């Protein structure tokens, strides 16, 4: 079963011309009605200047094979997928080489992050109370779901409570990284092996 959903993928980083050919072929296999640069000469023109962006339709808005190739060759990406009408959420995900795994967030139709009220409300209540009355409010929040670990940090070291809150906010509302421009490396390194794909 398949459902064509609109998506886009922005890719940046250093890659060999041979890898670029492999990437373009893979994009052509995974996506339909594609807009973006498909001629190697056009991507060479933007090399070092900006990222490469392709938009189109793919099965359920996903492109795991493209993202796997990006991770294999240490290319950064930002992937956006529209929602399935009435069924799912729009998502934005990204990966850069220094990350362990991909970050994936739910977004609105315009791409803005969506944060569940139940997850953010306890943090805001704690932050406002802490701002108003300081560490004396900590016992009131010890059983509050979603902030217990932050309160425990505050009991041990009240000066670290704001840092713990900031960390939790960033986890719920991560910043989308700025990825480097795509850059084509002309000379093939000896230590690089091109892998055959099925």
Q: What is the CA radius of gyration of the chain?
A: 22
Of 190, 4, 182, which Cα lies nearest the Cα of 82? Answer: 4
Q: Is the pLDDT of residue 106 over 90?
A: no
Q: For residue range 152-185, what is the model confidence (pLDDT) as tens digits?
A: 999 999 889 999 999 999 888 888 899 999 999 8
State residue 195's pLDDT score. 52
State residue 33's pLDDT score. 92
State residue 188's pLDDT score. 53
Across the range 104-125, mean pLDDT stands at 84
Cα-based distances in Å from 173 to 56, 83, 95, 106, 167: 27, 19, 16, 10, 10
Out of 3.30.70.1270, 3.50.50.60, 3.30.450.20, 3.40.50.2000, select the CATH number for domain 4-113+175-185. Answer: 3.30.70.1270
The C-alpha angle 92, 98, 103, rounded to 5 degrees, equals: 20
Across the range 179-196, mean pLDDT stands at 69
Q: For residue range 40-76, what is the model confidence (pLDDT) as tens digits?
A: 888 888 988 999 999 999 998 999 999 999 999 999 9
Q: Is the pLDDT of residue 85 over 60?
A: no
Q: What is the mean pLDDT of the chain?
A: 87
State residue 12's pLDDT score. 96
Whether 140 contacts 129, CB under 8 Å: yes
Q: Is the pLDDT of residue 84 over 70?
A: no
State residue 3's pLDDT score. 86
Q: Is the pLDDT of residue 96 over 80?
A: yes
CATH 3.30.70.1270 location in the chain: 4-113+175-185
Distance in angstroms (rounded) separating the CA atoms of residues 181 and 36? 15
Beta strands in the chain (DSSP E): 4-16, 32-35, 52-59, 76-81, 90-95, 103-107, 182-185
Q: Which H or E run contains 191?
A: none
Q: Is the pLDDT of residue 193 over 60?
A: no
Find where tokens 């929602």 sit: 83
pTM above 0.75, yes or no: yes
Instruction: Identify the DSSP state of 113.
Output: B
State residue 41's pLDDT score. 86
């Amino acid at each position: 079963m398949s459902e064509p959903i609109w998506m886009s993928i922005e890719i940046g980083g250093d890659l060999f011309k041979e890898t670029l050919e492999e990437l373009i072929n893979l994009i052509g296999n995974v996506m339909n009605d594609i807009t973006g640069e498909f001629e190697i000469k056009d991507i060479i023109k933007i090399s070092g200047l900006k990222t490469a962006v392709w938009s189109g339709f793919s099965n359920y808005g996903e492109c795991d094979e493209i993202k796997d190739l990006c991770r294999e060759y240490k290319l950064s990406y930002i992937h956006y997928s529209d929602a399935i009408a009435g069924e799912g959420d729009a998502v934005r995900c990204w990966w850069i080489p220094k990350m362990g795994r991909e970050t994936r967030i739910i977004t609105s139709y315009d791409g803005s992050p969506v944060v569940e009220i139940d997850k953010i409300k306890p943090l805001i209540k704690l932050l406002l109370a802490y701002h108003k009355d300081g560490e004396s409010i900590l016992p009131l929040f010890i059983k509050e779901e979603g902030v217990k670990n932050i309160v425990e940090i505050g009991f041990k070291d009240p000066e670290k409570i704001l840092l713990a809150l900031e960390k939790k906010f960033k986890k719920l509302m991560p910043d989308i990284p700025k990825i480097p421009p795509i850059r084509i490396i002309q000379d093939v390194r000896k230590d690089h092996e091109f892998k055959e794909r099925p």
